[in-house]
């Protein structure tokens, strides 16, 4: 067990592949439940950004010392979602020493007041005893379309299909790297609930997730007075 469950605010793990909608869901879930939210991908992105800026190559150098010195303030940088950081973060995330260096930060954050954490290994490694585990996924094509629009792509762009295909290929490569790495690979925890989001809009994913959270917390007798679950789920 990584924490005593009784008497503390819930920890909700949201895992899944890139661009599946974990970020949007987790942010909205945290707001609805009045819990802190941590996008753990930002940890790997921030290490990657700091390495790139220091002229260090994440393919051949360990970011362990940068990871050990990382603070929550580093996650507020506005240059963490660039294509070079996308690729470097995936390399950084393969490094077991970096992952180990970031474990405590994630656990301390969530244990303080409960939290919604989204990432790849929250339900399997960081909080194997999380109160609720969701695994959010969608087809590579649906995820590519979302990422294309997120990056400012429009439906009437003449090169729309080609650009979506390029994004889709990059996502498939990153999925492969994330799920085949030796250290904390992307994998659904045995007790996680899988939500396929291809045919669901963000509101539907949120409503479905809130019902799961309510039922799980009730079944586990987790006392959670800070949000009225009945109102949220009606
Ligand atoms: O937003 P997107 O899904 O594109 O990526 P992200 O969640 O910001 O994660 C960036 C990279 O960090 C991923 O490619 C993963 O390799 C890695 N990551 C991880 O290994 N473990 C986590 N808990 C979160 C992210």
Write out pLDDT tens, residues 39-95.
999 999 999 999 999 999 999 999 999 999 999 999 999 999 998 998 899 899 999
**168 within 8 A of 144, measured Cβ to Cβ:** yes
Cβ of 12 closer than 6 Å to ligand 1, yes or no, is no
Q: What strands lie across the sheet with 115-119, from one edge to the other?
A: 37-39, 115-119, 11-15, 132-137, 193-196
CA–CA distance, 69 with 93 (Å, rounded to integer) = 16
CA–CA distance, 70 with 136 (Å, rounded to integer) = 27
**151 within 8 A of 33, measured Cβ to Cβ:** no
User: Cα(6) to centroid of ligand 1, in Å?
Assistant: 30
Q: By alpha-carbon position, which residue is closest to atom 16 of ligand 1? A: 90
- How confident is the model at residue 1, as a pLDDT? 45
Cβ of 217 closer than 6 Å to ligand 1, yes or no, is no
CA–CA distance, 172 with 158 (Å, rounded to integer) = 23
Cβ of 170 closer than 6 Å to ligand 1, yes or no, is no
- How confident is the model at residue 83, as a pLDDT? 86
- How confident is the model at residue 8, as a pLDDT? 75
pLDDT band for position 6 (50/70/90)?
very low
Q: How much is the average pLDDT of 189-207?
A: 95
CA–CA distance, 211 with 102 (Å, rounded to integer) = 31
Q: By alpha-carbon position, which residue is closest to atom 14 of ligand 1? A: 90
124: CB partners within 8 A, 6+ apart: 15, 184, 187, 189
73 appears as a binding residue in the annotation = no
- Look at the block and give the residue holding tokens 């789920």: 233
- Look at the block and give the residue holding tokens 């949220």: 232
Q: Residue 107: how many CB atoms within 10 A of its CB?
A: 17
- pLDDT, mean over the chain: 91
Percentage of the residues of the chain whose pLDDT score is greater than 90: 81
User: Cα(212) to centroid of ligand 1, in Å?
Assistant: 24
Cβ of 121 closer than 6 Å to ligand 1, yes or no, is yes
Instruction: Single out the residue of 209, 213, 197 nearest to residue 11, CA to CA.
Output: 213
Cα of first residue to Cα of last residue in the chain, in angstroms, is 33
pLDDT band for position 174 (50/70/90)?
confident
Q: How much is the average pLDDT of 138-145?
A: 96
6 appears as a binding residue in the annotation = no
User: Cα(226) to centroid of ligand 1, in Å?
Assistant: 29
User: Cα(40) to centroid of ligand 1, in Å?
Assistant: 7
- Produce one character per residue of 189-215: b if its CB has 16 or more CB atoms within 10 Å, e if not: beebbebebeebeeeebbebbbebbbe
Q: How much is the average pLDDT of 204-210?
A: 95
In terms of average pLDDT, the best of 4-13, 199-208, 215-224 is 199-208
Please state whether the predicted TM-score (pTM) of the whole model is above 0.85.
yes
Cβ of 93 closer than 6 Å to ligand 1, yes or no, is yes
Q: Is 52 exposed, middle or buried (0-12, 13-18, 19+ CB in 10 A)?
A: middle
């Amino acid at each position: 067990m990584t924490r005593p469950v009784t008497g503390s605010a819930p920890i909700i793990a949201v895992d899944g592949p890139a661009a599946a909608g974990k970020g949007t869901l987790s942010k909205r879930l945290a707001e609805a439940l009045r819990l802190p939210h941590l996008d753990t991908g930002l940890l790997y992105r921030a290490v990657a950004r700091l390495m790139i800026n220091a002229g260090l190559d994440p393919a051949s150098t360990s970011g362990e010392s940068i990871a050990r010195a990382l603070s929550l303030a580093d996650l507020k940088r506005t240059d963490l979602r660039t294509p070079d950081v996308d690729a470097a973060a995936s390399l950084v995330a393969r490094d077991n020493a970096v992952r180990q260096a970031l474990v405590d930060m994630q656990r301390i954050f969530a244990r303080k007041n409960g939290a919604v954490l989204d990432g790849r290994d929250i339900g399997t490694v960081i909080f194997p005893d999380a109160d609720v585990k969701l695994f959010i996924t969608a087809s590579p094509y649906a995820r590519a379309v979302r990422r294309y629009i997120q990056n400012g792509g429009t439906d009437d762009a003449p090169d729309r299909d080609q650009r979506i295909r390029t994004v889709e290929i990059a996502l498939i490569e990153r999925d492969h790297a994330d799920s085949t790495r030796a250290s904390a690979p992307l994998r659904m925890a045995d007790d996680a609930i899988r939500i396929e989001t291809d045919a669901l809009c963000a509101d539907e994913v949120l409503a479905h997730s809130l019902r799961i959270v309510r039922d799980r917390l009730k079944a586990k007798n987790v006392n959670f007075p800070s949000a009225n679950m009945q109102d949220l789920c009606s």
